[in-house]
Amino acid sequence: MSVGACLFGVPGSTLNLGVGALRAATIGAFLARVPDARMTVFDDGWGERQGTAYVHGQAVPIRLSGARHSRRYHRPESYVNMRLSAAFGGLGNQGVSAIDDADVVLDVSGGDSFSDIYGEHRFRTVAWPKKLALLRKRKLVLLPQTYGPFKIPRIRAEAVSLARGASMAWARDPDSFAALRELLGSDFDPRRHREGVDVAFGLEPRAPEGAAFDQLAAWFAAADGPVMGINVSGLMSRAEGIAQFKLAGDGGRVARQICERVLDEPNTRVIIVPHVLAAGGTDDDTATSEALRADLAAMYGDRIAITPRGLDPHQTKWVISRTAWFCGMRMHATIAALSSAVPAAILAYSLKARGVFATVGQERHVADARTLGNDELLDTLWKSWSNRSAAAAELAERVPVAVHRAGEQMDEIVALARAAA
């Protein structure tokens, strides 16, 4: 009997390459083990559509289904509509039917959104799928993710209830596992509540195609010497982001300073890698990245490059894997580096960075912008760049272990799905 699976918690994956990496890595790992699985991926589109995923570099079809925390209650994609439809036997709602057809419901909460740090609306968006899975008595698996922090007591109580109801709940790093254990208290069960690694450690890199490949390959081959990669968060570089996360340091300014300091060394080059591509949005990396490229190009010419538009998470990881050191503000941009055994540092805005870097013994490369000023942040990044050879040696030993763990945790999840089929 074939296995049915649903995946929630990956909306906006074409605009946010971190969420896209979670989606691509989960689908690829699951379908590599169960090629004939009936896989439905819930996204923020409308209706049911056909999509594409990559398994061992080959395109395979998947089914996409819209699901939204929306006030358009008449729409079948609205979680409220799905909830009411489920209460009356389904009423032909396609999303409810897909959940009912699933042997396992996988939920990754965008990696770090099972929290109220981003506001109640975001929490509601990630809570709804879990509620629906439990309501329809499906096996709910919380994929490796961050748990909390929770500042609002009623949201924390709801999170406890949802985590308690899951058949499996995986944390993606030691800090997240400690938070999960604390969240569950006496309900903690080591057989169901597990420490794993971020699924994106298992994401396969894939070379771009056509003109994008020609452009990138030519630039990388044009000169010898180390290439630094950098991802600049649009949000962390704006006043509203600095205020939202109560940052002591200005990430945008420090990003430019570390680029200049590296480029002042001989034979170095820098490639800028935007990771959130929501043009015009407050969280967009594109405008900030283009501005940084223009400023640096005026001084350093073609030693500066920026990734072409249209790359998917696999292709973006391919680019990052070719750098000698990577500096990121987006968690999954740095995971693409670490999982490729590329030394990396992160300008962090939350606790989640330390735990994920600790997965491969690199927590000293976390520059916490919440507590460090600009000079201290720059010093941390410069030390990371200067000591990249030692970090590379450490990663050569630790990354294969983390990638293996990513495979083992998916083996357990697939075994649960097969048992339920």
Choosing from 141, 174, 196, the residue where a domain stops is 196
Q: Are 191 and 233 found together in one domain?
A: no
In whole angstroms, give the CA distance from residue 168 to residue 189. 10
DSSP string, 137-190: T-EEEEEEE------SHHHHHHHHHHHHH-SEEEESSHHHHHHHHHHHGGG--T
Residue 10 lies in a domain: yes
Those residues with Cβ within 8 angstroms of residue 322's Cβ, 6 or more apart along the chain or in another chain: 220, 227
Q: In what order do the strands lie in the sheet with 325-328?
A: 304-306, 269-272, 227-230, 325-328, 344-348, 366-368
User: Which pairs from 43-47 meet CB under 8 Å and 24+ separation?
Assistant: 43/10, 43/11, 43/12, 43/13, 43/67, 44/11, 44/12, 44/68, 46/75, 46/77, 47/76, 47/77, 47/94
Residue 14 lies in a domain: yes
Burial of 415 (0-12, 13-18, 19+ CB in 10 A): exposed
Specify the DSSP class assigned to residue 16: B
Residue 201 lies in a domain: no
The residue range of the domain holding 264 is: 210-399
| E-only strand ranges, 303-399 | 304-306, 325-328, 344-348, 366-368
Choosing from 196, 222, 249, the residue where a domain stops is 196
Q: Are 363 and 316 found together in one domain?
A: yes
Q: Are 263 and 192 found together in one domain?
A: no
Neighbours of 382 (CB within 10 A): 15
Q: Are 11 and 105 found together in one domain?
A: yes
> Which pLDDT belongs to residue 86?
86
In whole angstroms, give the CA distance from residue 124 to residue 164. 17
Q: Are 126 and 233 found together in one domain?
A: no
> Which pLDDT belongs to residue 70?
85
pTM score of the predicted model: 0.94
Residue 25 lies in a domain: yes
Residue 273, token pair as written in the block: 């890698």
> Which pLDDT belongs to residue 1?
67
Q: Please compute Rg for the chain using Cα positions.
A: 21
Residue 264, token pair as written in the block: 């002042």
Q: Are 253 and 392 found together in one domain?
A: yes
In whole angstroms, give the CA distance from residue 85 to residue 301. 59
Nearest to 275 by CA among 29, 102, 18: 18
Q: Are 187 and 227 found together in one domain?
A: no
Q: Are 42 and 148 found together in one domain?
A: yes
Neighbours of 35 (CB within 10 A): 10
**CATH code of residue 24:** 3.40.50
Residue 353 lies in a domain: yes
> Which pLDDT belongs to residue 90?
77
DSSP string, 392-417: HHHHHHHHHHHHHHHHHHHHHHHHHH
Residue 419 lies in a domain: no
DSSP string, 50-63: EEEEEETTEEEEEE
In whole angstroms, give the CA distance from residue 277 to residue 394. 32
Q: Is the sign of the CA dihedral 289, 291, 293, 296 positive or negative?
A: negative
Residue 357 lies in a domain: yes
Choosing from 196, 221, 248, the residue where a domain stops is 196
> Which pLDDT belongs to residue 259?
98
> Which pLDDT belongs to residue 164?
97
> Which pLDDT belongs to residue 87?
83
| Cβ–Cβ under 8 Å, residues 25 and 336 | no
Specify the DSSP class assigned to residue 45: S
In whole angstroms, give the CA distance from residue 15 to residue 312. 9
Residue 291 lies in a domain: yes
Q: Are 123 and 225 found together in one domain?
A: no
**CATH code of residue 280:** 3.40.50.2000
Strands 139-145 and 168-171: parallel
Using DSSP's 3-state secondary structure scheme, residue 116 falls into coil
Burial of 156 (0-12, 13-18, 19+ CB in 10 A): middle
Q: Are 214 and 319 found together in one domain?
A: yes
Q: Are 244 and 378 found together in one domain?
A: yes
Those residues with Cβ within 8 angstroms of residue 216's Cβ, 6 or more apart along the chain or in another chain: 208, 305, 307, 308, 319
Number of domains composing the chain: 2
Q: Are 334 and 361 found together in one domain?
A: yes
Q: Average pLDDT by consecutive 10-residue portion of the chain (421 residues)?
A: 92 89 97 96 93 92 92 89 87 92 97 92 94 96 96 96 98 95 96 97 96 97 97 80 81 95 97 88 86 96 96 97 97 97 94 91 96 96 98 98 97 97 89
| E-only strand ranges, 67-103 | none
